[in-house]
Amino acid sequence: MKFLLSVLLTPAVVLLSATDVLAAIRTRTIEYKQGNTILEGYLAYDDAIKVKRPGVLVVHEWNGLQSYAKKQTEELAKLGYVAFAADIYGKGIRPKTSEESGKQATIYRQDRKLLRERAKAGLQVLQKHPLTDSKRIAAIGYCFGGGTVLELARSGVNIAGVVSFHGNLDTPDPSDAKNIKTKVLVLHGADDPFVPEQQVQAFEREMRIGNVDWQLISYGGVLHSFTNPEAKNNPKGAVYNSIADRRSWQAMRQFFTEIFGK
């Protein structure tokens, strides 16, 4: 009897294994343009899901679209989203040093209009993808990317929500908050030396005056770049924090449940 039971169960086990093999996270590089500039983004989705689903735009840190932003894009795909990592700097521009990163980031921080247009170009790629539910889209960003998705919100785009992870909160024109149509979630290290308390307070005033639906979660004792395991303990104050990393990811997921539904 035990032998017979084993034989009967075997096909079911084989079938389950085959199904697991067929389901996979698909990724590919997508070339697109903003004006005359060629950009190169990174798409990820779960091909086991055959229907349209919410989309999430991901904006990279100051070192451009490299391994960390791609990894986060793949993690979002595992949660069931169509995820697209935008390229703000342009095809082939991938800084290798802090000096190069700072030079590139400064270009866009000093030209917020151009920054917004680069983010919008990535958003359009995501919106037009056949698997994306264009009525349910969010944007998230890390450090430089966190500030970028806030600028995207200030531009008045009609999406469901934006999430900033340890991003800059400043803006040249606080009155732009009146344009914000999306819900805003900011996940912030309370001791981040790059985003001092004065900047946080100015951001809070901006959100209140603009009558924005916003949240700010501040993690005590946490510095800059707290979600990135590659961040080292250094005098510049960029340090990975596993607890804040986990809590902030969970906060993002709860936010998505709110804005997208189950």
Per-residue pLDDT 10s for the chain (262 aa) are 333 333 333 333 222 233 333 459 999 999 999 999 999 999 999 999 999 999 999 999 999 999 999 999 999 999 999 999 999 999 999 999 999 999 999 999 999 999 999 999 999 999 999 999 999 999 999 999 999 999 999 999 999 999 999 999 999 999 999 999 999 999 999 999 999 999 999 999 999 999 999 999 999 999 999 999 998 766 578 999 999 999 999 999 999 999 998 7
The type of residue at 140 is I
Q: Are 50 and 77 in contact (CB under 8 A)?
A: no
CB-based burial of residue 25 (10 Å sphere; 0-12 exposed, 13-18 middle, 19+ buried)?
A: middle
pLDDT of amino acid 1: 35
Integer Cα distance of 112 and 18 in angstroms:
49
Domains in the chain, CATH or no CATH each: 26-260 (3.40.50.1820)
DSSP state of 179: G
Paired strand residues for 184: 162, 214
pLDDT of amino acid 173: 96
Number of residues written out for the chain: 262
Pairing of strands 37-46, 25-34: antiparallel
pLDDT of amino acid 262: 73
Name which of 226, 225, 221, 262 is nearest 246 in CA terms: 226
pLDDT of amino acid 137: 98
Tokens of 150: 């806030």
